Amino acid sequence: MNVIECKNLQKEFEGDGTTTVAVNNVNLSFHKGEFTAVIGTSGSGKSTLLSLIGTLDKPSKGKITYDNEEILKKGKNKIADFRFQEIGFIFQQFHLLPTLTALENVLTPLFSRKVPYDKVERAKEVLKQVGLLDKMNALPSQLSGGQQQRVAIARAIVHKPSWLLADEPTGNLDTETGAKIYDLLKELNEQVGCGVLFVTHDPVLAAKANRIITMKDGNVLSDKVGATI
């Protein structure tokens, strides 16, 4: 997938007689291989924007096109297939299954999917990529926070998505471990060519991205070229 376009994108939440406009008339394009940081105060709409782009939620108004195709107009199964083919997610809470080993956790997206490669070999390959092949038989409880996030990253890339959507992936990690996770995402972006959309509260990490989008109250406040271009 080469281009994601958000056109007049709007997401509203109703509750207690009030309406919250989480994403307000956002127009943005993302191009293949970009590494973009999204920053903004708490409640500014960053996670909502990521969920919409990741097809986890539907907009109230406006649309998102993926290479000019409006995927959200399709049925549930088609949307799930699209997500499997194109998108990997990483979250602040690693969301690993506690009773599965690192290797088994990485394999979970491939369960019940037909793929043209050996699943276990592929899972080992990505664990090696994130530097954790020696921990493949460990349970999440036997891993540090940084290592658990590496497993989560391996799981996010095992199905070879063209985009990685990361919602505060360093939020639960100390500064040094967070910087290493950031570097790993940058490395994957450069080596595998995955586009990365990276939500963070950390201005130091955001400043290292190719592009920095700042959100406020659901609006895009600024969209700037980052330091590394």
Ligand X SMILES: Nc1ncnc2c1ncn2[C@@H]1O[C@H](COP(=O)(O)OP(=O)(O)OP(=O)(O)O)[C@@H](O)[C@H]1O
Residue showing tokens 């895009």 = 220
Nearer to ligand X, 33 or 171 (CB): 171
Q: Nearer Cβ to ligand X, position 39 or 110?
A: 39
Burial class from Cβ neighbours inside 10 Å (0-12, 13-18, 19+) for residue 14 reads: exposed
Number of residues this chain uses to bind ligand X (CB under 6 A): 12
Shortest separation between residue 47's beta carbon and ligand X, angstroms: 3
Single residue of 24, 36, 44, 105 touching ligand X by CB under 6 A: 44
Alpha carbon 199 to its chain's center: 8
Q: Does 17 bind ligand X (CB under 6 A)?
A: no
**Which residues is 64 bridged to in the sheet?**
6
β-strands 211-216, 35-40 pairing: parallel
Residues 159, 84 contacting (CB under 8 angstroms): yes
> Based on the number of CB atoms within 10 Å of its own CB, is 43 exposed (0-12), middle (13-18) or buried (19 or more)?
middle
Interacting residue with ligand X among 36, 40, 178, 195 (CB under 6 A): 40
Contact between 59 and ligand X per CB under 6 A: no
Burial class of residue 126 (count of CB atoms within 10 Å of its CB; 0-12, 13-18, 19+) = buried
By CB under 6 A, residue 43 contacts ligand X = yes
- Only one of the segments 37-45, 97-105, 182-190, 204-212 lies at the binding site for ligand X (rule: CB under 6 A); that segment is 37-45
Q: Of these, 3, 8, 13, 70, which contacts ligand X (CB under 6 A)?
A: 13
- Residues of the shown chain interacting with ligand X in the complex, contacts defined by CB under 6 A: 13, 15, 20, 22, 40, 42-48
